[in-house]
Chain A
Amino acid sequence: DTEVTQTPKHLVMGMTNKKSLKCEQHMGHRAMYWYKQKAKKPPELMFVYSYEKLSINESVPSRFSPECPNSSLLNLHLHALQPEDSALYLCASSQGTRSYEQYFGPGTRLTVT
């Protein structure tokens, strides 16, 4: 099983809402990632979790709050977002610290109104 799943596929939220994006993998991978991808742009790294600990935060605003409840799950909690935060949010995972292959999920298309 080389699948990374993400829910929901689409999300529309207002600027005052609180919502969460979910990501799951059952490959035994110990590193998980959140990326943001705007239209016609490459993915931009947001956060990296390694062995369930946050190891990289690429200066992401605090309205995005990641959480890794266990080695298979990764959440991204959203609060007070701005319209410019509308994007495709991609989750990825890799085996561990020496990881040449990142596997991506299908993404959540987020629209902030």
Chain B
Amino acid sequence: GEDVEQSLFLSVREGDSSVINCTYTDSSSTYLYWYKQEPGAGLQLLTYIFSNMDMKQDQRLTVLLNKKDKHLSLRIADTQTGDSAIYFCAETQDYGGSQGNLIFGKGTKLSVKP
């Protein structure tokens, strides 16, 4: 079955790097995503990676994918207090040209201390 696991909490100091980890069980996952949710708000798509890629970098964000271990990570460089939020890892599968449903992890609450 499909399952996406994340640690629930992460606390870092402002200026440090944050690394949020995620594991998934379905080897047929084709796309893996990171969403950010600030308190009382909707989900913001931060970045996504196709399963044939190892790494994707976008400004302060670096996504690493280890397909063999089914492990995904999101690194935020120079973490700021505005990065405090819940970060959801999610996956979808490719069903013959259509994307499957988003399967979310439980979310990691990132707290950034000044």
Q: Do A and B bind each other?
A: yes
Listed in ascending order, the chain A residues whose CB lies under 8 Å from chain B are 4, 6, 40-43, 45, 48, 56, 90, 92, 94, 97-107, 109
Residues of B within 8 A of A42 (CB): 88, 104-107
Q: Which residues of A are found within 8 Å of B88, using beta-carbon distances? A: 42-43
Contact with A along B29-69 (1 / 0, CB 8 A): 00100010000111111001000000000000000000000
A45 engages B44 (CB within 8 Å)? no
- CB pair A43 B40 closer than 8 Å: no
A-B contact pairs, 15 of them (CB 8 A): A4-B42, A42-B106, A43-B43, A43-B104, A94-B99, A97-B99, A98-B97, A100-B99, A101-B48, A102-B45, A103-B45, A104-B42, A104-B43, A107-B41, A109-B40
Checking A48, A99, A105 against B42 with a beta-carbon cut-off of 8 angstroms, the contacting residue is: A105
Contact: A45 with B48, CB < 8 Å?
A: no
Instruction: Using CB atoms and an 8 Å cutoff, list the residues of chain B in contact with chain A.
Output: 31, 35, 40-45, 48, 88, 92, 97-99, 101-102, 104-107
> In chain A, what residue has the closest Cβ to B96?
A97
Asked if residues B99 and A98 are in contact (CB atoms below 8 Å), the reply is yes
Selected from A45, A103, A106, the residue in CB contact (under 8 A) with B102 is A45
Chain A residues closer than 8 Å to B104, beta-carbon distance? 42-43
User: Is there an interface contact between B98 and A98, defined as CB atoms closer than 8 Å?
Assistant: yes
B97 touches which of A6, A40, A48, A97 (Cβ 8 Å) = A97
Contacts of A97 in B (CB 8 A): 97-99
Which B residues are CB-close (under 8 A) to A103? 45
- In angstroms, Cα B101 to Cα A104, docked, is 14
In the assembled complex, the Cα of A101 lies from the Cα of B41 at a distance in Å of 18
Q: Are A41 and B42 in contact (CB under 8 A)?
A: no
Q: How far is the CA of A100 from the CA of B51 in the complex (A)?
A: 12
Chain B contacts of A4 at CB under 8 A? 42
Docked complex Cα distance between A107 and B40 (Å): 8
